[in-house]
């Protein structure tokens, strides 16, 4: 099976599409995964950072409200303090929920313990203050409670720092993920570009190499040597079609040049004799004054030789048409029985002129052939004329038609001089005629049997001969029967 450039291009295109889709899917899923991780991390970090900041704010507010309460004894500060306590507890719960890293969890635990300690000291200070022990309450406020608030504040600051560090780390991780994603996208993209470039480079080189081989073969072909052909063994389907078309064209050119050479050689060989006769006879006639009868005789010879040349040219043109331009010859389907009846009538008249007995055997049932009736008629008359020509007076010529399945055999036999065994392979060659004494050899060109064989081959048939000297000849023509 021949390879095809079209198939290679389609495979390359599908591979390119696959790599492109693969790269796009990889980029899509990587980006989506990175986006989800980034959004989740940022949500957690932002929520944790927000909780830390709010914790710090609530703690600072509590510290201020508590100080104001002990300074001016206004119950409004206690109300605000309770609001900030509730706010602090709420944000402490959110911070506990959003804590992810061990460091965050440890700080949240420390804040919970310290805040519990602070709450215990605050309640004790409040009881002391309400019981009139103002000094002890202030000492507790300025001592343990204040220390607990400072530590809580520092823990909140640490918590904020940790969250900021986590955010920076997340940004770094995001940057690395983006870089990794770019690598995953860029490397396949580069691979696709290189693959496509390599594919088209190899494909182009293959095409140009094949075209160059065809060009070299075509360049080496000239009039002296038309035998060169393009080698199609390793060509792809498209160039194989082109190469076979070129080879077919070269075959036609070679046959045409062979025909021109053969035609020129045949014309030169066969026309040389009649031209020499015309020239010699004319020169002899002009050497001196002659009688009118002598001039007439010379002119008659010239006319006979001219007619012979015309016949040679017409026969050669007809052979050329059969051998090199057969498509212009029309065929038709016809009844061979009626066709051979017409030939029989004409053959009887021809044989009667020489005193030869002509017999025939033609079937009654219709037998259909497909071909050119004029050319087939010429084939069989060539055979019958030869049989009559080489059969002496009183001899016999027979025409018989025998349908045999998908073919019909037409046999023309005679009781004439026959053909030497050594001449049998040559009788269908152009211009072959054996020089023998007697009137039957006069005017023979040697194209009749060659024309007969060409007509038989044109009709997908064949012609065979069997003969022995002094026993006559048997020519058998086989033609295919036309079926509907």
* pLDDT one-digit tens code per residue, 337-365: 999 999 999 899 989 999 999 999 999 89
Domain that holds residue 156: 5-197
Domain presence at residue 181: yes
CATH number at residue 341: 3.30.565.10
Do 18 and 153 sit in the same domain of this protein? yes
Give the pLDDT score at 411.
95
Average pLDDT, stretch 59-78? 61
What average pLDDT does the chain have?
76
Do residue 13 and residue 117 come from a single domain?
Answer: yes
In a domain, 472, yes or no: yes
The tens digit of pLDDT for each residue in 419-450 reads 888 888 888 887 776 655 555 544 556 778 88
| Same-domain pairing of 295 and 392 | no
State the CATH number of the domain containing residue 89: 1.20.120.1730
- pLDDT at position 73 is 62
Higher pLDDT, 326 or 298: 298
pLDDT band per the 50, 70, 90 thresholds, residue 105: confident
> Looking at the domain assignment, is residue 229 inside a domain?
no
Domain end, chosen from 304, 326, 348, is at: 326
**In this model, does residue 116 exceed pLDDT 80?**
no
Q: Does residue 225 sit within a domain? A: no
Distance CA 106, CA 99 (A): 9
pLDDT at 140: 63
205 part of a folded domain: no
Mark whether 319 and 386 lie in a shared domain. no
What does the pLDDT read at residue 108? 72
What's this model's pTM, rounded to 2 decimal places?
0.49
Residue 444 pLDDT: 58
Task: Name the domain boundary from 197, 227, 251.
Answer: 197
Same domain, 68 and 45: yes
Q: Are residues 111 and 154 in the same domain?
A: yes
- 249-291 pLDDT tens trace: 878 777 777 767 766 766 666 677 677 778 887 888 788 787 8
- Predicted confidence at residue 329, as pLDDT, reads 80
Query: What is the percentage of the chain residues whose pLDDT exceeds 90?
Result: 16
- 336 with 317, same domain? no
Question: Residue 319 is part of a domain; what is its CATH number?
Answer: 1.10.287.130
SS3 readout for the chain:
CCCCHHHHHHHHHHHHHHHHHHHHHHHHHHHHHHHHHHHHHHHHHHHHHHHHHHHHHHHHHHHHHHHHHHHHCCHHHHHHHHHHHHHHHHHHHHHHHHCCCHHHHHHHHHHHHHHHHHHHHHHHHHHHHHCCCHHHHHHHHHHHHHHHHHHHHHHHHHHHHHHHHHHHHHHHHHHHHHHHHHHHHHHHHHHHHHHHHHHHHHHHHHHHHHHHHHHHHHHHCECCECCCCCCCCCCCHHHHHHHHHHHHHHHHHHHHHHHHHHHHHHHHHHHHHHHHHHHHHHHHHHCCCCCHHHHHHHHHHHHHHHHHHHHHHHHHHHHHHHHHCHHHCCCEEEEHHHHHHHHHHHHHHHHHHHCCEEEEECCCCCCEEEECHHHHHHHHHHHHHHHHHCCCCCCEEEEEEEEECCEEEEEEEECCCCCCHHHHHHCCCCCCCCCCCCHHHCCCCCCHHHHHHHHHHHCCCEEEEEEECCCEEEEEEEEECCCC
**In the predicted model, what is the mean pLDDT of residues 219-239?**
70
Say how many domains are in the chain: 3
Q: pLDDT tier at 395 (50, 70, 90 boundaries)?
A: very high
Neighbouring CB atoms inside 10 A of 58's CB total 21
- Asked if residue 217 belongs to a domain, the reply is no
How many Å is the maximal CA-CA distance in the chain? Answer: 186
- Residues 285 and 148 reside in one and the same domain: no
State whether 114 and 191 are in the same domain.
yes
Q: Produce one character per residue of 109-147: b if its CB has 16 or more CB atoms within 10 Å, e if not.
A: ebbeebbebbeebbeebbebbeeeeeeebeebbeebbbe
Same domain, 42 and 144: yes
- Asked if the structure places residue 150 within a domain, the reply is yes
Q: Of 277, 311, 326, which closes a domain?
A: 326
Give the per-residue pLDDT at 139. 66
Same domain, 303 and 430: no
Q: 405: left (phi > 0), else alpha (psi -120 to 50), else beta? A: left
Q: Are residues 282 and 412 in the same domain?
A: no
Residue 245 maps to a domain? yes
399 - beta bridge partners?
A: 360, 412
Comparison of pLDDT for 331 and 258, the residue scoring more = 331
């Amino acid at each position: 099976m021949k390879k095809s450039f079209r198939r290679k291009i389609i495979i390359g295109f599908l591979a390119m599409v696959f790599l492109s889709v693969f790269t796009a899917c990889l980029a899509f899923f990587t980006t989506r995964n990175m986006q989800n991780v980034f959004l989740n991390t940022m949500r957690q970090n932002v929520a944790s950072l927000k909780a830390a900041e709010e914790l710090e704010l609530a703690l600072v507010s509590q510290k201020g409200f508590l100080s104001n309460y002990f300074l001016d004894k206004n119950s409004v500060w206690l109300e605000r303090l309770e609001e900030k306590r509730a706010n602090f507890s709420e944000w402490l719960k959110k911070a506990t929920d959003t804590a992810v890293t061990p460091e965050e969890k440890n700080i949240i635990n420390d804040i919970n313990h310290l805040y519990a300690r602070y709450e215990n000291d605050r309640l004790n200070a409040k009881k002391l203050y309400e019981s009139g022990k103002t000094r002890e309450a202030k000492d507790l406020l300025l001592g343990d409670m204040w220390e607990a608030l400072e530590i809580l504040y520092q823990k909140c600051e640490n918590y904020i720092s940790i969250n900021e560090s986590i955010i920076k780390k997340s940004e770094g991780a995001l940057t690395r993920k983006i870089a990794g994603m770019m690598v995953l996208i860029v490397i396949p993209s580069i691979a696709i570009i290189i693959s496509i470039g390599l594919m088209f480079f190899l494909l182009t080189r293959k095409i140009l190499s094949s075209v160059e081989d065809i060009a070299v073969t075509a360049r080496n072909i000239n009039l002296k040597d038309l035998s060169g052909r393009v080698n199609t063994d390793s060509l792809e389907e498209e160039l194989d079609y082109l190469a076979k078309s070129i080879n077919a064209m070269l075959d036609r050119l070679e046959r045409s040049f062979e025909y021109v050479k053969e035609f020129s050689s045949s014309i030169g060989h066969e026309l040389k004799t009649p031209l020499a006769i015309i020239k010699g006879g004319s020169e002899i006639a002009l050497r001196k004054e002659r009688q009118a009868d002598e001039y007439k005789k010379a002119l008659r010879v010239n006319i006979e030789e001219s007619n012979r040349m015309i016949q040679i040219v017409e026969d050669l043109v007809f052979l050329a048409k059969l051998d090199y331009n057969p498509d212009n010859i029309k065929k038709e389907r016809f009844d061979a029985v009626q066709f051979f009846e017409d030939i029989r009538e004409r053959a009887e008249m021809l044989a009667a002129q020489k005193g030869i007995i002509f017999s025939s055997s033609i079937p009654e049932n219709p037998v259909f052939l497909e071909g050119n009736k004029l050319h087939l008629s010429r084939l069989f008359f060539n055979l019958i004329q030869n049989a009559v020509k080489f059969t002496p007076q009183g001899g016999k010529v027979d025409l018989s038609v025998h349908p045999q399945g998908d073919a019909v055999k037409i046999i023309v036999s005679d009781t004439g001089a026959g053909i030497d065994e050594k001449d049998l392979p040559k009788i269908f060659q152009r211009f072959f005629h054996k020089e023998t004494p007697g009137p039957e050899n006069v005017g023979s060109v040697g194209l009749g049997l060659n024309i007969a064989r060409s007509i038989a081959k044109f009709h997908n048939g064949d012609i065979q001969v069997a003969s022995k000297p002094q026993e006559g000849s048997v020519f058998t023509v086989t033609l295919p029967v036309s079926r509907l």
